[in-house]
Amino acid sequence: MRALVKHKAEPGLWLMDVPEPETGPGDVLIKVLRTGICGTDLHIRNWDGWAQQAVTTPRVLGHEFVGEVAHTGADVQDIKVGDIVSGEGHLVCGKCRNCLAGRRHLCRSTVGLGVGVDGAFAEYVALPASNVWVHRTKVDLDVAAIFDPFGNAVHTALSFPLVGEDVLITGAGPIGIMAAAVARHAGARSVVITDVSEPRLELARQVGATLAVNVAQSSIKEAQAKLGLKEGFDIGLEMSGRPEAMRDMVDNMTHGGRIAMLGLPAEEFAVDWSRIVTSMITVKGIYGREMYETWYAMTVLIEAGLDLRPVITGSYAYQDFQAAFDEAATARSGKIILDWTV
């Protein structure tokens, strides 16, 4: 089968023939229909410091996908050939304290699909049945392809109750934009999102952000004044991993404010901890999605009319992966889809 492979330990990606994945009795073989390109995939293509320590070659990339079940192992129940499915990209150990307690998203030995094991940028991908999410209601295939990052957005946005709250999101990448849509849908009073990319801020406005602020030109304090906020934001969703964004967020929170942080900083940085203490701020780290409470919430949000299609700004045949990756690496794009059926 054709697959996008990190073939050598150097920058680049290779489209090549590899054997179809093998499946055991508990596994599901999935014919891939569409995939989403993630920042993770860009890191691996660029072969940066993180990728060099996380990936051994050769490795088939990709963890954001939708596909059709082609085969199920003998022990698999409730998943049928022909089902339209996405996959939870974190493979958990099932043995650690958190796994045994049912808190699988907190597993200490998580392995990433397309990072630690061969992934979904291929004509077929195999997954344990426990990692397969069946789309039981009709969903747009492009939207289904980005359920994994949508899950990051939902898990982050719903970390704290949002009804009536004023929400600040720093970073209008695709996940920040999706989080803005979720926050509005979940009953936030106002959603302010920041970035320095005008096209991305415009996407955030399209999905319902109250204010999309270019922090190269104005400040979060000014946004507060515009909205008539007197005490700061109740909820912060940090999506950029950038020191200045986190500092800005801490500066603009109300007393007792709560911050969910998904943005992954490239290195250590300082924040005003005395401010966090005296403002009594909670900071919660987010990695992945809750299995499978977040997936349930995603499905219900889509059923209830949440529209993610504005977030998808490009679709390419998988053979054109170089152009697709280049587009995904720009500061203007939303989610970029690869089509594996062409």
Q: Is 262 flagged in the annotation as binding?
A: yes
Q: Is 102 flagged in the annotation as binding?
A: no
The smaller minimum CB distance to Zn ion, of residues 92 and 182, is found at 92
Cβ 336 to Zn ion, closest distance in Å? 12
- Cα separation, 325 vs 59, whole angstroms: 17
| Cβ–Cβ < 8 Å for 33, 147 | no
Cβ 265 to Zn ion, closest distance in Å? 17
Q: Is 63 flagged in the annotation as binding?
A: yes
Q: Is 155 flagged in the annotation as binding?
A: no
The smaller minimum CB distance to Zn ion, of residues 43 and 185, is found at 43
The smaller minimum CB distance to Zn ion, of residues 92 and 201, is found at 92
The smaller minimum CB distance to Zn ion, of residues 55 and 223, is found at 55
Interface residue list for Zn ion (CB under 5 A)? 38, 64, 92-93, 96, 99, 107, 149
Cβ 280 to Zn ion, closest distance in Å? 32
Closest chain position to Zn ion (CB): 38
Catalytic (active-site) positions: 40, 43
Q: Is 99 flagged in the annotation as binding?
A: yes
Cβ 297 to Zn ion, closest distance in Å? 18
Q: Is 39 flagged in the annotation as binding?
A: no
Cβ 40 to Zn ion, closest distance in Å? 5
The smaller minimum CB distance to Zn ion, of residues 72 and 110, is found at 110
Q: Using CA atoms in the order 315, 117, 66, 51, what is the torsion angle rounded to 10 degrees?
A: -30
Binding site members for Zn(2+): 38, 63-64, 93, 96, 99, 107
Which parts are annotated binding residues?
38, 63-64, 93, 96, 99, 107, 175, 195, 200, 262-264, 286-287
> Per the annotation, where are the binding residues for NAD(+)?
175, 195, 200, 262-264, 286-287
